Amino acid sequence: MTSLPKSTDRRLGLLIDLDTCVGCHACVISCKEWNTSNYGAPLSDMDAYGEQPVGTFLNRVHTYEIKEPEAPAQIVHFPKSCLHCQDAPCVTVCPTGASYKRSEDGIVLVNEADCIGCGLCAWACPYGAREMDAEAGVMKKCTLCVDRIYNENIPEEDREPACVRTCPAGARHFGDFDDPNSNVSLMSAARGGIELMKEQGTKPTNRYLPPRPKSDIESQSQIDMPIPFLEPVSGAKGFIGWLDKALEKI
């Protein structure tokens, strides 16, 4: 079995704003692209255009409708990937030492050369954050783009996880949670960052900012808002003119 480091020099992770995430899946696509086409380990797809496609993704987005009592329903998009837990059970159950946690930054990784594909780490992970690559026969997971954040061959502004760099809504943030003055620590403290499934005792590094409650939506009759008067379009020519005449007869 693999042992965990007693402490880490840093605790790098993601802060995800559930109030801002629009569920566009840009993070999913950029993660797949970076790991397949650049420095990362390829993520295979089996029978991609067939009847039973199977693919490996390190990041997925789930969408839910939630409803609080006496409040309107709202949609929440929930991105899910490895949480890089401090007390990572996926590491301690690994029989070959393939799963390990780095002491320098707290990132949990898999040494694919030592992975035998037994799946014990996936069973131990309470978040379902690991995926067996059907083609390679080994377990794969989010690496926090470790091959990217330390890569001096790319511009400094790009040295953050691909999912963070590409998020159009600015819902994903990357930083050191052990630094109280980091962007992720300050935002988490200000907005009440959530430790997912705290009762599991895994001490996940990643945090989620809860969606802000939506106020009741007033009906249109209650809103004192002038409705602009739109002049009808007349004198149109061509196809639009023909369509106008045809609709007038209905």
Yes or no: say if 14 and 172 are a contact pair by the CB < 8 Å rule. yes
* Residue 24, helix vs strand vs coil: coil
pLDDT > 90? residue 29? yes
**Structural domain includes residue 130:** yes
**Structural domain includes residue 238:** no
Q: Which residue type sits at 16? A: I
**Distant-in-sequence, close-in-space partners of 95: CB < 8 Å, separation ≥ 6:** 1, 116, 118, 120
pLDDT class for 224, splitting at 50, 70, 90?
low
Q: Which residue type sits at 59? A: N
**Structural domain includes residue 38:** yes
**Structural domain includes residue 2:** no
Condensed to tens digits (0 to 9), the pLDDT of residues 51-60 reads: 888 889 999 9
CA angle 198, 203, 207 (to 5 degrees): 75
The pLDDT, as a whole number, for residue 1 is 64
Q: List the single range of 17-21, 104-108, 140-144, 223-227 with lowest mean pLDDT.
A: 223-227
pTM of the prediction? 0.81
Q: Which residues pair with 75 in a beta bridge?
A: 65
The pLDDT, as a whole number, for residue 233 is 56
Give the pairing type, strands 108-110 and 99-101: antiparallel
pLDDT class for 17, splitting at 50, 70, 90?
very high
Q: Would you put residue 57 in left (φ > 0), alpha (ψ -120 to 50) or beta? A: beta
Mean pLDDT of the chain: 88
Alpha-carbon gap, residue 102 to 107, rounded angstroms? 5
The pLDDT, as a whole number, for residue 125 is 96
Handedness of CA 117, 146, 108, 124 (dihedral sign): negative
The pLDDT, as a whole number, for residue 226 is 55
Yes or no: say if 49 and 38 are a contact pair by the CB < 8 Å rule. no
**Structural domain includes residue 183:** yes
Q: Residue with structure tokens 């997971």?
A: 141
Condensed to tens digits (0 to 9), the pLDDT of residues 183-221 reads: 999 999 999 999 999 999 999 999 999 988 766 444 444
Element (H, E) at 244: helix 238-248
Element (H, E) at 28: helix 26-37
Structure token pair of residue 244? 């106008």
pLDDT class for 68, splitting at 50, 70, 90?
confident
Q: How many domains are there within the chain?
A: 1
**Structural domain includes residue 222:** no
pLDDT class for 44, splitting at 50, 70, 90?
confident
The CATH number covering residue 43 comes to: 3.30.70.20
Structural domain range at position 201: 12-209
Yes or no: say if 187 and 16 are a contact pair by the CB < 8 Å rule. no
